[in-house]
């Protein structure tokens, strides 16, 4: 059906129906202007209405009209971050599936974590990430080398000592440094280095990046398997067909791991001799039943997706930063609502109370420096334990008080001399309490010997002393105290993992017992500490005439020798276990 008005120029629309022009008042009744206003709509003559070009109000790039249906806000789509996979991503995905299996086999289902398998996995993971970063032409940041050293040193500790009391803390440091190092390597930390936004960086790297990129492994595999269309015509591109072949060979490994043991068991000829060495290798890697190996491969899939998502997501900078640092700084400034007088009053009152309290408790707080136990405590353990927990409570309260005062005060620390002074006073008082707690712990150790818990508690108090010392330095020099605290804590924990705390405690107690400074020798500590503990037990056994103590030591050492023999030829073998295997069990 033909339009009634084919020429809009001869039959103009009423003014009320004309589309409004942005920035102009609504049209009023009267004659139409000869020339449409700037930015308005001018119909083309000889063109039907449904074929007229779009006006400015219909152009998404143009300004919206001030009223009418065009003023309704359109639904804004959330910007997506596409993932353009390369062959390097495909190779990474294949390697991540192998890493996932090794993680399940040697770490997750091998509790407690120990042995050369953990160290091999750590080295393989670091190597894969570094090679992948090199393929992406990414230069590692300076901060990443520090965290790589922490990662490798922590992983190396598993192949040296039998995992003891630090197992959980050592595993936390290994897992955390592996994730944080990856974000640092690709330069995706919020401040490009460890900063006061450490907790936000940990959340991004632990949760956001790997799970937002959880399916990138499949995209990489798809890119790797896809053959080029012109491979038949272009000999130079035929080499790209090599990757699907390599992928097929890689996927054959789990199949062979299941099939070969069955074939060897059913063989009646020379097949067993041909594959005897290969079967030994598969037994070391895929030890366990067929269904157990199959279960490991199934559980390894989400682990592989997590590792690949973490590494590839950081390399492609996909969903790596969800925090607006400028907005965060503005929010902090907006939160400064407490008057300076209020903050100063609180800090003065608290500091005075601490001074009076410490003054009234001088005999209690400082008796340990003189080697004297207060009369109200019957045992050293209660004295030291109370001192440690008192310190932890006060240190936590003081840290929260310092943090709140510096964040909420209307005048920032840099412009507030009184606030800097009270920061120093409160930090110094806390360090004084830390010194008293350390003296109590030293008195406790001198009476009952060393243990892992006492060692960890002492190191933790030294860590607190370092942090509060940094608070004092912060009043004169600007730096990231979070970076200092995280770095110091990581180095101290890593050092504990490398010095064999269990063996150190047993060796100290054995020497003190032999010297006559300890009345008893705790044999319960012998089943930790590796070869150092075994040698310490043998030394005590040779110097004591206590029959009950001799029997207890022999029983503990027998258990230790049995446990060391169990790790022989497996991924759980350690240097300590190998040393124990070379020793001779004392005769009963």
Phi/psi for 229 (5° steps) reads -70, -30
* Selection from 297, 187, 201, 218 nearest residue 253 by Cα: 297
* pLDDT, tens digit, 9 for 90 and up, residues 30-56: 444 444 444 444 555 554 444 555 444
Q: Which residue, among 323, 474, 493, 466, has the nearest Cα to 403 in the 3D structure? A: 474
Report the pLDDT value the prediction gives residue 312, as an integer from 0 to 100.
94
* C-beta of residue 154 within 8 angstroms of C-beta of residue 170: yes
Q: What is the DSSP string of 340-367?
A: HHHHHHHHHHHHHHHHHHHHHTHHHHHG
User: In angstroms, rounded to a whole number, what is the distance separating the alpha carbons of residues 571 and 453?
Assistant: 29
Highest averaged pLDDT of the listed ranges 91-95, 108-112, 279-283: 91-95
Rounded Cα distance, 382 and 440, in Å = 10
Whether pLDDT at 188 is above 60: yes
Question: What counts of helices (H) and strands (E) characterise the chain?
Answer: 22, 0
Look at residues 25, 23, 19, 27 and name the one whose alpha carbon lies nearest to residue 69.
19
Tens-place pLDDT, residues 352-371: 888 887 777 676 666 655 55
> Among residues 203, 206, 189, which one has the least CA distance to residue 480?
189
Measured between alpha carbons, how far is 243 from 100 in angstroms, rounded to an integer? 20
- pLDDT digit string (tens) for 523-535? 877 777 778 888 8
* Distance separating the N- and C-terminal Cα atoms of the chain: 112
Q: What is the mean pLDDT of residues 215-220?
A: 90
Q: How far apart are CA 97 and CA 308, in angstroms?
A: 9
Look over the chain and give the mean of its residue pLDDT values, rounded to a whole number: 77
This prediction has a pTM of 0.73
Query: What pLDDT, on a 0 to 100 scale, did the predictor assign at position 76?
Result: 41
Tokens of 246: 């390599």
> If you ran DSSP here, which 8-state letter would residue 409 be given?
B
Dihedral, CA atoms, 93, 99, 100, 102, nearest 10 degrees?
160
> Quick one: 314 exposed, middle or buried, by C-beta within 10 A (0-12, 13-18, 19+)?
buried
User: Is the distance from CB of 561 to CB of 580 less than 8 angstroms?
Assistant: yes
- Report the pLDDT value the prediction gives residue 35, as an integer from 0 to 100: 47
Largest separation between any pair of C-alpha atoms in the chain: 124
Residue 472 near residue 428 (C-beta atoms within 8 A): yes
């Amino acid at each position: 059906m033909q339009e009634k008005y084919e020429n809009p120029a001869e039959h103009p629309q009423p003014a009320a129906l004309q589309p409004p022009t942005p920035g102009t008042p609504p049209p009023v009744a009267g004659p139409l202007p000869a020339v449409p206003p700037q930015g308005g709509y001018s119909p083309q003559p000889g063109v039907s209405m449904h074929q007229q070009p779009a006006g400015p109000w219909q152009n998404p790039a143009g300004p919206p009209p001030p009223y009418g249906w065009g003023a309704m806000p359109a639904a804004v789509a959330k910007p997506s971050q596409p993932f353009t996979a390369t062959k390097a991503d495909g190779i990474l995905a294949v390697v991540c599936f192998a890493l996932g299996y090794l993680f399940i086999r040697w770490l997750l289902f091998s509790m407690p974590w120990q042995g050369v398998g953990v160290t091999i996995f750590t080295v393989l993971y670091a190597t894969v990430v570094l090679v992948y970063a090199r393929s992406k032409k990414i230069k590692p940041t300076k901060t990443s080398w520090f965290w790589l050293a922490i990662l490798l040193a922590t992983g190396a500790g598993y192949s040296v000592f039998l995992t003891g009391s630090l197992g959980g803390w050592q595993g936390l440091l290994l897992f955390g440094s592996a994730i944080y190092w990856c974000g640092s390597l690709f330069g995706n930390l919020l401040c490009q280095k460890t900063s006061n936004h450490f907790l936000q960086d940990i959340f991004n790297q632990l949760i956001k990046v790997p799970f937002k990129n959880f399916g990138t492994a499949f995209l990489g595999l798809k890119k790797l398997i896809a053959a080029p269309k012109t491979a038949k015509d272009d000999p130079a591109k035929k080499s790209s067909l090599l990757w699907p072949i390599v992928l097929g060979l890689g996927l054959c490994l789990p199949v062979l791991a299941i099939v070969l043991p069955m074939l060897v068991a059913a063989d009646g000829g020379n097949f067993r001799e041909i594959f005897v060495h290969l079967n030994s290798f598969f037994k070391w890697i895929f030890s366990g039943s067929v269904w157990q190996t199959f279960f490991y491969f199934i559980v390894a899939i989400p682990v592989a997706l997590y590792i690949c998502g973490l590494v590839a997501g950081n390399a492609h900078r996909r969903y790596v930063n969800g925090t607006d640092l400028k907005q965060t700084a503005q929010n902090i400034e907006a939160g400064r609502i407490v008057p300076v007088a209020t903050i100063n009053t609180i800090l003065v009152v608290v500091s005075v109370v601490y001074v009076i309290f410490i003054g009234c408790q001088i005999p209690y707080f400082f008796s340990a420096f003189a080697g004297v136990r207060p009369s109200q405590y019957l045992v050293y353990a209660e004295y030291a334990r109370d001192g440690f927990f008192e310190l932890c409570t006060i240190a936590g309260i003081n840290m929260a008080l310092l943090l709140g005062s510096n964040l909420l005060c209307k005048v920032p620390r840099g412009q507030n001399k009184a606030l800097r002074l009270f920061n120093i006073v409160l930090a110094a008082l806390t360090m004084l309490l830390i010194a008293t707690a350390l003296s109590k712990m030293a008195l406790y150790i001198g009476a009952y010997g060393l243990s892992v818990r006492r060692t960890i508690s002492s190191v933790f108090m030294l860590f607190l002393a370092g942090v509060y010392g940094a608070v004092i330095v912060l009043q004169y020099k600007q730096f990231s105290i979070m970076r200092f605290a995280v770095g110091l804590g990581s180095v101290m924990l890593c050092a504990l993992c490398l010095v064999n705390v269990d063996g150190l405690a047993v060796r100290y107690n054995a020497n003190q017992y032999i010297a006559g400074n300890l009345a008893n020798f705790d044999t319960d500590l012998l089943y930790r500490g590796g070869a150092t503990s075994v040698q310490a037990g043998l030394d005590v056994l040779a110097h004591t005439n206590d029959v009950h103590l001799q029997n207890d030591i022999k029983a503990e050492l027998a258990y230790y020798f049995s446990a060391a023999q169990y790790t022989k030829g497996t991924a759980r073998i350690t240097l300590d276990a190998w040393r124990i295997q070379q020793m001779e069990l004392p005769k009963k």
